[in-house]
A and B are shown apart, each in its own frame.
Chain A
């Protein structure tokens, strides 16, 4: 029986009702940009620099320029602690006012993805999420610019094969991955490439519970003697893998990670032993770029916001800055196209779909060299920007390669097929019919 329910639920409902009615009325000249952040929980160490970077770029624009064309950027965080359950709560809480949503975890992305068609809110999942989201015709409301995981996998292989995948013939490549939707992302593409170019692919999963103790996996790696180990790691798994690799004396120059496996914080605990480890990245930290100096001048020096010591130079902090840049450039594009100041969610979707981040643009916003130029279209929501190899020199990541590009001739048909499969499994799924590209 539910006798006491009134006593608890009534105030609960009242409080919720209060919250909704008292919520500050959105002033004419600001937009609400919610972010489902994770500064707590098991992945907080990676989340904090990313969130700080995003917050500080928006704060800097508000301080320096008074927002974007006079519209203040209302950056709001809703803490999920990387839990999918809190993700639902946060999405429901922010969707009424927010004009964008950033789910930040594969689990939350999967929950939010189907709802975005109904609620008409763009999802920004920069460099993560579901690789087929690149197909803008099917995933009308989702964006994973500047590059998908499949782009990352292709770039890594291009680099380790010296530009010709046929060089990998007969070689053995281990994919050390988190046993989670995120870690399994590259497998479909790698399987196709393995068959085409005649190398052997061996996926070795690392369970969520064994992230810190990977001795079994590394024993297997030692036995298999692979030519390369490619890592799709996250959080504590990266430091765990590096420590084991150093312990088993695996050559670090044969060990490459995806962009989320290149976090300074994780590497610090490995230090000198991790020297030579490389990670592909679509972003490069350039601490003396004008934008970073402005963040220092307008936000960090006046103590408007605080970040950890040394965090300013980290790959992840500056990647956070770039992520906010995508949103802001989307808003700018929408403002111009629709000739309005305060953009709506639908207008922002158009803006994100028509991003043109070229060299001139990067110079204008003071980000030259931090990211490769790219552009999006209604059919291409990923942009497929290139990336660079960053190498850990024992104290920081340094850029060691020229700009790498993914091989779209293999990725495109796969994106199309997988997107179609998703749409069929979730029928009726609305497809963007207007897009004629």
Chain B
């Protein structure tokens, strides 16, 4: 009914391989973009921006970065949190050394620093695979967080040892810092996330993406058909770390406003990894679904008892929250081990058949 494909004929290969082979998909995305760009900003309160919309986008971007590496190229990484940290510290140094630099440029440039670090720590992937590689990236995680703590130059010798975001303006409007409006920061985050998502879709659907997928599925076979493993793996590390680094800069500069080195601890890496796994490895959509489940759902659950007028203490809600979200994660993975993205795919296929399944 809603998803009737009758009458949509493909007359060329290009049409068959289009991003939206079914017209309704394009409409749905259009509606979502309309919500994201127009309706949410018009209706949301500051709390909604700060606690729901912005964090979901930032985490989606981080998971997208990890997904490029783990989901598309098959290289397991536990260093995401630290790579986000590299992006954040790089952005901090850029805007304090070059105060006249445009903030968006600074954010996009900071990704290159984490890309370089990512490639350096990706070198072991040329020899080791799977869980062994995960341990190597774990070393990056611990080393980098240690470095953030010990190298006082990184935070400009602040006595608190953490990054404090100064107020920075772009075209006369404050974008960074305490004076920036939540809606301005939301639009910046949304713009960058949209841009990188479009790029990621195109990269993963093209030649490079297929190269990564071949390496993921069987690296020896990939090598035999002429894929340069070094190039494939290191490019995956570079692109992934770039995206993760940008998300780290957004994480601190357009959302939290301050960050101590512990903020980039292993817990953050796991959180992003869970988003990628629950959303679905090897998909772009999954990162957004996963982030909604892991980041936004607990916030919504936290506000429910108060809005319904239930007299439950805040600590109790927190305990319930952990239980509910935990149970949901297990349930979802039992029902669909390939994550939420695959879940949506199945629903969509059923919808196309409906109401006459054969």
Binding site for B on A (CB under 8 A): 1-6, 8-13, 15-20, 22-24, 37, 39-40, 76-79, 81, 84-85, 88-89, 92-93, 96, 106-107, 110-111, 113-115, 117-118, 130, 132, 179-181, 184, 188, 208, 418, 421-422, 425-428
Q: List 30 A-B contacts (CB under 8 A).
A: A3-B29, A3-B344, A4-B289, A5-B288, A8-B293, A8-B296, A8-B297, A9-B53, A13-B43, A13-B52, A15-B304, A16-B44, A16-B51, A19-B303, A40-B319, A79-B314, A92-B47, A92-B50, A93-B303, A114-B257, A115-B178, A117-B178, A130-B160, A181-B160, A184-B161, A418-B159, A422-B158, A422-B164, A425-B158, A427-B166
Among A76, A88, A110, chain B packs the most CB atoms within 10 A around the CB of A110
Cβ-defined contact, B260 with A421, below 8 A: no
Among A9, A20, A89, A114, chain B packs the most CB atoms within 10 A around the CB of A9
Q: Specify which chain B residues have a CB less than 8 angstroms from the CB of A39 in the assembled complex.
A: 314-315, 318
Cβ-defined contact, A111 with B306, below 8 A: no
- Does chain A have a CB within 8 A of B25? yes
- Per-residue 0/1 for B24-42: is the Cβ within 8 Å of any A Cβ (1 yes, 0 no)? 0100110111011000100
Cβ-defined contact, A78 with B303, below 8 A: no
- Per-residue 0/1 for B148-172: is the Cβ within 8 Å of any A Cβ (1 yes, 0 no)? 0100000010111110111100000
Question: Known pairs A15-B304, A107-B262, A208-B265. 12 more at Cβ < 8 A?
Answer: A1-B201, A4-B289, A10-B35, A13-B43, A15-B303, A17-B43, A20-B47, A40-B322, A76-B314, A132-B159, A180-B262, A427-B166
B302 → A minimal CB distance (Å):
7
- Does chain A have a CB within 8 A of B313? yes
A18 → B minimal CB distance (Å):
5
CB interface residues, B 316-340, toward A, < 8 Å: 317-319, 322, 340
A77-B303 contact given A1-B201, A3-B32, A9-B56, CB 8 Å threshold: no
- Does chain A have a CB within 8 A of B263? yes
A75 and B165 CA atoms in complex are apart in Å by 31
Binding site for A on B (CB under 8 A): 25, 28-29, 31-33, 35-36, 40, 43-48, 50-53, 55-56, 149, 156, 158-162, 164-167, 177-179, 197, 201, 255-260, 262-263, 265, 284-285, 288-289, 292-293, 296-297, 299-300, 302-304, 306-307, 309, 313-315, 317-319, 322, 340, 344
Cβ-defined contact, A17 with B257, below 8 A: no
Q: Specify which chain B residues have a CB less than 8 angstroms from the CB of A418 in the assembled complex.
A: 159
In chain A, what residue has the closest Cβ to B302? A89
Q: A-side binding surface: helix, strand, loop or mixed?
A: helix
**A110 contacts which of B160, B288, B296, B322 (Cβ < 8 Å)?**
B160
A419 → B minimal CB distance (Å):
10
B31 → A minimal CB distance (Å):
6
A13-B44 contact given A1-B284, A88-B51, CB 8 Å threshold: yes
